[in-house]
């Protein structure tokens, strides 16, 4: 029986299709554990939190959200968290931008060593970080005792608002450096040389070329730092307990029943907190695109 060219082509397509399905099925098998983890540890808690936030005494209502927006105490906790996150993110971002720019004056081997150290410090956060600051700058801390013996009277308390800001900046800074390190690769030397040949000043180069290149990464990093600080809990609680009114501590107290347990209200606060974080990231992205277009037009 003679096999036509058309039949041979159909047979080859069927073989390729079966091979593709086999590869797809094998890849799907490896994806199952990841999908299960995402569903069990992200989507299910998120769905439960959303349902719980609209529940009061097993009845569906908006009472939890009304309690949030009519309580000066809870609104103040949101304002304190936003202020703390904004200050720590801005300071860490500026310090990281200057630090990363300075790192490029060193050799690649030196930069890699610095990155290893920064990567190690980025994992040092939470309760161990708060404990380390207490040992150094607490009421009986190592540096506090030394400074008192030298006659330096510090009007600074690690357990105060300024102490909390200091800790937040500390654990934000390594993350900012790791995120911003690649941005200067986009500003290649040939761009600087071309701008110099065209008699552009350094200010003009950064305004017309440098800033539009790095701005999206800077804005994205700020949004990540802001969200990271908004959700931080362990360091703040280990350092100050419940003495400072920030949102993450309020959620923890409502869940653990420090005064009285109210997990439904805690869920509603968490939803509002998440909404603020998502809104800040979307706003940052929109402002970045608009600012970049304006800079390019100029």
In tens, the pLDDT along 240-266 reads 877 888 998 998 888 877 667 788 998
Give the whole-number percent of the chain exceeding pLDDT 90: 16
Contact 182, 97 (CB under 8 A): no
- CATH number of this structure's domain 70-297: 1.10.3720.10
With 80 as the cut, is the pLDDT of residue 289 above it? no
Quick one: pLDDT at residue 253? 86
With 90 as the cut, is the pLDDT of residue 141 above it? no
Average pLDDT, the chain: 81
Determine the Cα–Cα distance for residues 288 and 217; give it in Å rounded to an integer: 9
Quick one: pLDDT at residue 8? 44
Q: Highest mean pLDDT range out of 122-126, 162-166, 208-212?
A: 162-166
CB-based contacts of 129, cutoff 8 Å, min separation 6? 167, 170, 171, 235
Position 114 confidence tier, pLDDT thresholds 50, 70, 90: confident
The burial of 92, by beta-carbon neighbours within 10 Å (0-12 exposed, 13-18 middle, 19 or more buried), is given as buried
With 80 as the cut, is the pLDDT of residue 175 above it? yes
Q: Where are the domains of the chain?
A: 5-53, 70-297
Q: Between these two residues, 21 and 242, which has the higher pLDDT value?
A: 242
Nearest to 272 by CA among 131, 83, 69, 58: 69
């Amino acid at each position: 029986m003679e096999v036509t060219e058309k039949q041979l082509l159909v047979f080859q397509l069927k073989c390729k299709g079966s091979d593709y399905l086999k590869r797809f099925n094998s890849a799907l098998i490896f994806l199952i554990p990841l999908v299960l983890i995402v569903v069990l540890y992200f989507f299910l808690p998120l769905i439960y939190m959303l349902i719980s936030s609209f529940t009061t005494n097993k009845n569906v209502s908006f009472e939890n959200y009304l309690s949030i927006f009519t309580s000066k105490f809870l609104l103040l906790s949101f304002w304190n968290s936003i202020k703390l996150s904004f200050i720590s993110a801005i300071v860490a971002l500026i310090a990281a931008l200057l630090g990363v720019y300075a790192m490029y004056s060193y050799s690649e081997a030196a930069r890699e060593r610095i990155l290893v150290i920064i990567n190690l410090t980025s994992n040092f956060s939470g309760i161990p970080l708060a404990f380390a600051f207490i040992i150094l700058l607490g009421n009986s801390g190592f540096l506090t005792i030394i400074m008192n013996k030298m006659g330096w009277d510090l009007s600074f308390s690690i357990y105060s608002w300024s102490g909390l800001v200091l800790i937040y900046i500390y654990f934000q800074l390594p993350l900012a450096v790791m995120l911003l390190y690649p941005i200067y690769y986009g500003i290649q030397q040939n761009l600087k040389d071309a701008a110099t040949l065209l008699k552009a000043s350094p200010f003009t180069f950064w305004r017309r070329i440098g800033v539009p290149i790095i701005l999206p990464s800077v804005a994205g990093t700020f949004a990540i730092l802001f969200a990271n600080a908004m959700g931080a809990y362990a360091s703040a609680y280990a350092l100050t307990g419940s003495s400072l009114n920030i949102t993450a501590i309020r959620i923890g107290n409502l869940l653990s029943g420090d005064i009285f347990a109210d997990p439904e209200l805690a869920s509603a606060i968490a939803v509002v907190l998440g909404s603020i974080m998502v809104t800040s990231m979307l706003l940052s992205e929109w402002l970045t695109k608009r600012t970049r277009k304006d800079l390019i037009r100029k």
